[in-house]
Amino acid sequence: MKVAVLGAGAVGSRAVRQLASTAAVEAVAVADVDPRATERCVAAIDDERVDAAEAGNGWAAGADVGVLATPAGQHRSWAERLLEQGAAVVSTSDDPHDVTALLDLDAEARERGMAVVVGAAFAPGLTDLLAAHAAASFDAVDEVHVAKAGTGGPACARAHHRALRGREVRDWRDGAWMVRRAGSGRELCWFPDPVGAADCYRAAVPDALLLVPAFPGVQRVTGRVGANRRDRLTSWLPMLRRPHPEGATGAARVEVRGRRGTGRDTVVLGALDRPAVAAGAVAALAAVWTVEGRLRRHGAAGMAELVEPLPFLLELARRGVRAAVFEGAGSAP
């Protein structure tokens, strides 16, 4: 298979590295709006199957699938071009506007017999897989609550900053959408060590947009991000500090509540990794599975709808991205 990756930043370069370590991948074309970033990525991986391409209309020529690892804003337009040339799409964007626009491509992707994998990153992405895996142990799922701490590369850090000032945060409650205020809904969430406990708040994240269609009948779906007082107070200002080029250790937590028989139970799963590393692995493996025909269906959807979670999680674990089960229920591990 031939894979084209647009974006040679923290996530894109990690995806390229994962693809280069996959035997089934014959060629990887890498493009970025900054040619120097492309050159650095190709030189760092140093694999004859990885070549540089120009970030223009022909960056994905001949590719079976294109991985979009660029900052938010143009994922829909790039996805349309990929579908027109007969390539499947894997998007890493965590921007609600990008996610909504990509999900609207469902009918076109189905008609073409192609897949558009939306939110194939750390959160969303890995968190969707954890939710689907936890849900398999229930007879019916009532609630799904996602929280994440930490960011990947600079683009991810800026997206996290913007998410805390979003005016229209959409939560799913009692079978309907509710508009909330970003930065509200403080909740103490426990993540795998060494991240531990962190205050998390509502934010403009796409978790509910992707998870509600995956769990028919679910009553509540929420998404929160970890933030301190400085993060919240400065969310309306430009970032005061330059983002870390790859981000520090991050974590994700997924809490699923539902019914087993006549009783109710809660399952909490978590993951600990550098978000860019985990996101790159998820995106790369999603691209491979797409070409190999291992998705559940064609169309545009999130990971929870398109991917069988357990085999995917096992392969991620083999690649070094592991999940953890929290003992007990509620907020504490």
Average pLDDT over residues 312-329: 83
Residue type, 327: E
pLDDT of residue 237: 56
Average pLDDT over residues 275-287: 96
pLDDT of residue 327: 56
* Distance (Å, whole) CA 287 – CA 308: 14
pLDDT band of 55, cuts 50, 70, 90: confident
- Give the rounded distance of the alpha carbon of 325 from its chain centre: 20
To the nearest whole percent, how much of the chain has pLDDT over 70? 88
pLDDT of residue 333: 34
On the question of pLDDT at 233 being above 80, the answer is no
On the question of pLDDT at 70 being above 50, the answer is yes
Q: Which of 23-27, 57-61, 99-103, 144-148 shows the lowest mean pLDDT across its residues?
A: 57-61
pLDDT (tens digit, 9 = 90+) per residue, 74-95? Answer: 999 999 999 999 999 999 999 9
pLDDT of residue 187: 92
On the question of pLDDT at 190 being above 80, the answer is yes
Give me the chain's average pLDDT, please: 89
- Range 17-48 burial, b when 16+ CB lie within 10 A, else e: bbbbebeebebbbbbbeeeebbeebbeebeee
Which domains can be identified in the chain, with CATH numbers?
2-121+278-312 (3.40.50.720), 126-274 (3.30.360.10)
On the question of pLDDT at 97 being above 80, the answer is yes
113 Cβ contact list (under 8 Å, min separation 6): 298
On the question of pLDDT at 244 being above 60, the answer is no
pTM above 0.85, yes or no: yes
Average pLDDT over residues 249-256: 93
Query: CA angle at residue 254 from 230 to 227, to 5 degrees?
Result: 0
Token output for 210: 């992707």
On the question of pLDDT at 332 being above 50, the answer is no
pLDDT band of 139, cuts 50, 70, 90: very high
pLDDT of residue 134: 96
pLDDT (tens digit, 9 = 90+) per residue, 141-178? Answer: 999 999 999 876 666 666 665 667 766 788 899 989 99
pLDDT of residue 285: 98
pLDDT of residue 216: 93
